[in-house]
Structure 1
Amino acid sequence: MAGCGDPPPSEYPTQQVYVEDTTLGPGDVFDVRVFRQDDMSGTYSVSAEGTISFPLVGTVEVAGRTPAEVERTLRERLADGFLKNPQVSVLVKEYKSKKVSVFGEVKKPGTLLYSEGMTVVEAVAQAGGFTDLARKNAVTVTRTLAGEKTNYTVPVQDIGRGQADNFFVRPGDVVFVPRRLW
């Protein structure tokens, strides 16, 4: 029965040592609060062009920028003739531009919204869990970093049972659950 066994798991990163990518992208939703300016405070969605339209200052480029960079830009533009020493805060509600794909032998294959600290077990669970034909300890996660793809063989069933180290997914990862051979 040696041919039916699962492949050995890859050596994979087991800690979430990676700095989260907090830059904004199209579809992301965030709140802007301007202290003592309720009419300017509100929820904004990043357009397909990567911009928002903000009261008094007009169109603001936000795609590829962090919330802190957007705060600084809004503060500078509001201080330029509109408000004296404005205090601005930006809080991201949803990163719709950051996704993880899960396909293969899961009940609801597709694309999921990435959430900070998401594990491969959570990604499979959000995709409806394994089908009856899933090869649960032979899951492949494909990650592209600086244009280079790396494949990891991840023992998801063992992770779920506490028998293997967790695997943290990142935005852009592709999780593939293969079919059992028998």
Structure 2
Amino acid sequence: MTIRQIYAAMTGCALLSACASVEQAPRGDAAYALIPPALAIGADYRLSPDDVLRIQVYHEPGLSLEDAQVSAAGMVRMPLIGDVPVAGLSSGDAADLIAARLGQRYLVSPQVTIFVKKAVGRRITVDGEVREPGLFPLDGRLTLSQAVTLAKGPTRLASLSQVIVVRQIDGQRQAAMFDLAAIRRGQAADPEILPGDTIIVGLSRAKAILGGSLLAAPALAAGFIALDGKN
């Protein structure tokens, strides 16, 4: 294994981007069909805006950066070559891109490694009818019921049968609705939550965040529904 692969293997998994569909999650073990299990430790983490990176250019300390922050636009600014788009790339792919740009004009066969010092993308959002909504760090494995507990639990007004998990799957944000009350009773599987997931407790709040057309009641029974309302 190369040094670059080792650094890439140390940095985690998954990000979020634009929403497409909603499905009522089935009960029991089949609930994992829509929300896949977490990737194994060592899968490539995808760089996110505000991540802090250590970028090392072998034998070139003047080109190396100790605390390079990914900008809101997904760029990291490097000496000589300027802004490099790294958001959405693994650390290994980002290192290869920087090496390629340095090699075009300035260095012969540059060797670049990237270590993620601060992984902002390893967070989840819990919103809706919970006592303390917000962003929470994700360290290790976490289930849906545990994620709601991080937000101090649901409010008395929460509809526990309407808990939405929003996740990026194959480049699209998709959503599934779970019954937290059934999960607590042991009548439904407790799906695993991944970095970048958004959990929304209560259908009315989910409609406000994601759009009423996306979460219209007929759509929940119909399966995946695109934002334009077509199957």
Q: How does the TM-score come out when normalised to structure 1?
A: 0.67
Deviation at 1:47, TM superposition (A): 0.9
Residue 179 of structure 2 is matched in structure 1 by: 153
Question: 1:91 & 1:104 partners in 2: Cα distance?
Answer: 35
Which of 70, 78, 82 in structure 1 is aligned with 2:106?
Answer: 82
Does the aligned pair in 1 maintain the 2:166–2:199 contact within 8 Å? Answer: yes
Deviations 1:46-77 (A, max 9, x none): 11222111122211111232222111011122
Does the aligned pair in 2 maintain the 1:119–1:167 contact within 8 Å? Answer: yes
Amino acid at match of 1:89: T
Unpaired runs of 5+ in structure 1?
1-7
Deviation at 1:12, TM superposition (A): 1.4
Question: 2:55 & 2:71 partners in 1: Cα distance?
Answer: 15
Question: 2:44 & 2:54 partners in 1: Cα distance?
Answer: 18
Larger RCO: 1 or 2 (CA < 8 Å, sep 6+): 2
Question: 2:159 & 2:36 partners in 1: Cα distance?
Answer: 21
Which of 4, 7, 12 in structure 1 is aligned with 2:31?
Answer: 12
Residue 71 of structure 2 is matched in structure 1 by: 47
Does the aligned pair in 2 maintain the 1:106–1:177 contact within 8 Å? Answer: no
Q: 1:147 to 1:105 in 2, by over 3 A?
A: closer
Residue 201 of structure 2 is matched in structure 1 by: 176
Question: 2:58 & 2:145 partners in 1: Cα distance?
Answer: 41
Does the aligned pair in 2 maintain the 1:141–1:153 contact within 8 Å? Answer: no
Q: 1:132 to 1:173 in 2, by over 3 A?
A: closer
Q: 1:53 to 1:76 in 2, by over 3 A?
A: same
The reply on whether 1:126 has 2:150 as its aligned counterpart is: yes
Q: How does the TM-score come out when normalised to structure 2?
A: 0.55
Deviation at 1:116, TM superposition (A): 6.3
Question: 2:163 & 2:200 partners in 1: Cα distance?
Answer: 6
Calculate the aligned-residue CA RMSD, in Å.
3.7
Question: 1:83 & 1:150 partners in 2: Cα distance?
Answer: 49
- 3-state SS of 1:77 partner: helix
What is the number of equivalent residue pairs in this alignment?
A: 167
Question: 1:21 & 1:108 partners in 2: Cα distance?
Answer: 31
Which structure features the higher share of helix residues?
Answer: 2
Unpaired runs of 5+ in structure 2?
1-25, 204-231
Which of 61, 65, 76 in structure 2 is aligned with 1:38?
Answer: 61
- 3-state SS of 2:61 partner: coil
Q: 1:102 to 1:26 in 2, by over 3 A?
A: same
Question: 1:44 & 1:81 partners in 2: Cα distance?
Answer: 22
Amino acid at match of 1:93: K
Residue 49 of structure 2 is matched in structure 1 by: 26
Does the aligned pair in 2 maintain the 1:34–1:88 contact within 8 Å? Answer: yes
